[in-house]
C-alpha cells in the first residue's frame, strides 16, 4: 500500500512537471517578445519590465513560500530567458569570484556572459566601446566609505548609472585544509582586512596579513600554499575549491557595499527611483548653501553628498549628489534647472531604480 509520505511525494512530482511545462510555455512567449523587439529595433533588455514583474509577484504572493527566494528564482528565470533571446554581456571589476562579480551575478543571474576587467577604468571602457552592455563597479562600503576612483571616472565619462546593487558583504576565512592551526599567513584585500581586523586580531594574533589586489587574488594565492589562508567570498571558496575555516568573520554584521551598474542609457521611471548628479560651483561664500537650499525648497531628499578635487584647478571641487526620485519628476526637474544657473557645470549621471 502507498504510504501517506509516498502520496505527498507523488503530488510534489506532479506539480514539478507542471512547473516545467509552464516554464517552457512562458519561454516560448518570451522568444516571441524578443523577435518582436528585434523587428521593431527595440532593446532586448528591459529593466523596468523586470522590476514590474518582481514587484507584482511579491505583492501577489500569499505564502507560505517566502518572497526573497521567490525573487531569486525569478531573477534566474529572467536571466535564462534573456540569454535565449540575446546573450547579455556584463563587464565587472575582476578577477572572477570578487564581491563585484557576486553583485553582478545577483543582478543579472547566472546565464549572463560575464567579462572580468582588471581596473574600474577598463570596466568603463568596456561599456563605452560596446564590448559589454553593462558594467558593474563598487561605489561605497558602509564601513570603509566611498570608492573615490569610481567617482573620478564619472568626471570624464558619458556613461549613465542604470542600477544600484546593495549587497551584504560576508567575509570568510578560507584555506586548502580548513584548519586554523595550519595558518601561518593570511592574504586579503585592504578593505576586507580592515573590515575583519577585530576577528583576525582575536583569533590569529601575530599572523601577518599580506595585501592583495582583490579578495579573489587572495584566494588564488591561498590555493598554492597549505600554510596560507585568504579572506574572501563564498563564491571564491567554490571557484578555487577552498575549505571554510570560519564563515562570517566581518566585525560589523551590517556590512554592506553599494555597487553601480553603468550603461549608455538610463532606464525609465519605476516609481521607486534615485537620481545622481555631479556639479562644480564657484569658490565663494554661500555658493553650496544656495544649491542645497534649492533642493530643500522643492522638498527633494538628498541621500548622499560627496566632494572630490576637480583635478582641473587647485581648490576647485566637484560634488556628487544622490537624491530620491526620477529626473522626470517635476520637483527634481525644477530643482536641477534652478541650480544649474549657479554651477560652473552640472551633469546628470542617471535616474535608476533604488536598491531594495
Give catalytic residues, as residue numbers.
257, 259
DSSP state of 182: G
Radius of gyration of the chain (CA): 23
- Alpha carbon separation from 52 to 47, 59, 71, 289, 353 (Å, rounded): 9, 11, 12, 38, 11
Instruction: In whole angstroms, give the CA distance from residue 176 to residue 217.
Output: 15
* Distance (Å, whole) CA 335 – CA 354: 20
DSSP state of 354: P
Is the four-CA dihedral 185, 137, 277, 270 of positive or negative sign? negative
The sign of the CA dihedral 307, 309, 315, 321 is: negative
CB 51 within 8 A of CB 353: yes
DSSP code string of 114-144: EEEESSHHHHHHHHHTTS-SEEEEEEEETTT
Using alpha carbons, list the distances in angstroms from residue 295 to 20, 333, 336, 352, 353: 51, 10, 8, 19, 20
- The answer to whether the peptide bond before residue 264 is cis (omega within 30 degrees of 0) is no
Amino acid at each position: 500500500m502507498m504510504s501517506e509520505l509516498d502520496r505527498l511525494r507523488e503530488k510534489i512530482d506532479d506539480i514539478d512537471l507542471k512547473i516545467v511545462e509552464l516554464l517552457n510555455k512562458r519561454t516560448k512567449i518570451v522568444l516571441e517578445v524578443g523577435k518582436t523587439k528585434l523587428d521593431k529595433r527595440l532593446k532586448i533588455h528591459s529593466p523596468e519590465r523586470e522590476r514590474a514583474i518582481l514587484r507584482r509577484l511579491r505583492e501577489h504572493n500569499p505564502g507560505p513560500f517566502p518572497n526573497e527566494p521567490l525573487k531569486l528564482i525569478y531573477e534566474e528565470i529572467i536571466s535564462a530567458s534573456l540569454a535565449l533571446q540575446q546573450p547579455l554581456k556584463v563587464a565587472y571589476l575582476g578577477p572572477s569570484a570578487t564581491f563585484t562579480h557576486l553583485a553582478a551575478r545577483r543582478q543579472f543571474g547566472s546565464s549572463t556572459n560575464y567579462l572580468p576587467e582588471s581596473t574600474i577604468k577598463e570596466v568603463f571602457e568596456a561599456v563605452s566601446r560596446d564590448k559589454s552592455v553593462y558594467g558593474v563597479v563598487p561605489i561605497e562600503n558602509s564601513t570603509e566609505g566611498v570608492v573615490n576612483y569610481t567617482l573620478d571616472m564619472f568626471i570624464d565619462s558619458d556613461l549613465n548609472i542604470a542600477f544600484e546593487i546593495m549587497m551584504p558583504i560576508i567575509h570568510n576565512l578560507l584555506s586548502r585544509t580548513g584548519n586554523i592551526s595550519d595558518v601561518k599567513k593570511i592574504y586579503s584585500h585592504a578593505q576586507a582586512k580592515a573590515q575583519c581586523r577585530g576577528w583576525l586580531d582575536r583569533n590569529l594574533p601575530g599572523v601577518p596579513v599580506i595585501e592583495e589586489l582583490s579578495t579573489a587574488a587572495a584566494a588564488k594565492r591561498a590555493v598554492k600554499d597549505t600554510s596560507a589562508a585568504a579572506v574572501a567570498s563564498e563564491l571564491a571558496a567554490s571557484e578555487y575549491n577552498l575549505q571554510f575555516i570560519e564563515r562570517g568573520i566581518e566585525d560589523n554584521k551590517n556590512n554592506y557595499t553599494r555597487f553601480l551598474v553603468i550603461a549608455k542609457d538610463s532606464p525609465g521611471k519605476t516609481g521607486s527611483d534615485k537620481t545622481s548628479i555631479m556639479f562644480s560651483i564657484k569658490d565663494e561664500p554661500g555658493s553650496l548653501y544656495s544649491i542645497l537650499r534649492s533642493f530643500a525648497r522643492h522638498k527633494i531628499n538628498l541621500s548622499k553628498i560627496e566632494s572630490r578635487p576637480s583635478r582641473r584647478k587647485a581648490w576647485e571641487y566637484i560634488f556628487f549628489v544622490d537624491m530620491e526620485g526620477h529626473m522626470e519628476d517635476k520637483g527634481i526637474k525644477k530643482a536641477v534647472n534652478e541650480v544649474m544657473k549657479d554651477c560652473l557645470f552640472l551633469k546628470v549621471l542617471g535616474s535608476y531604480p533604488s536598491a531594495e
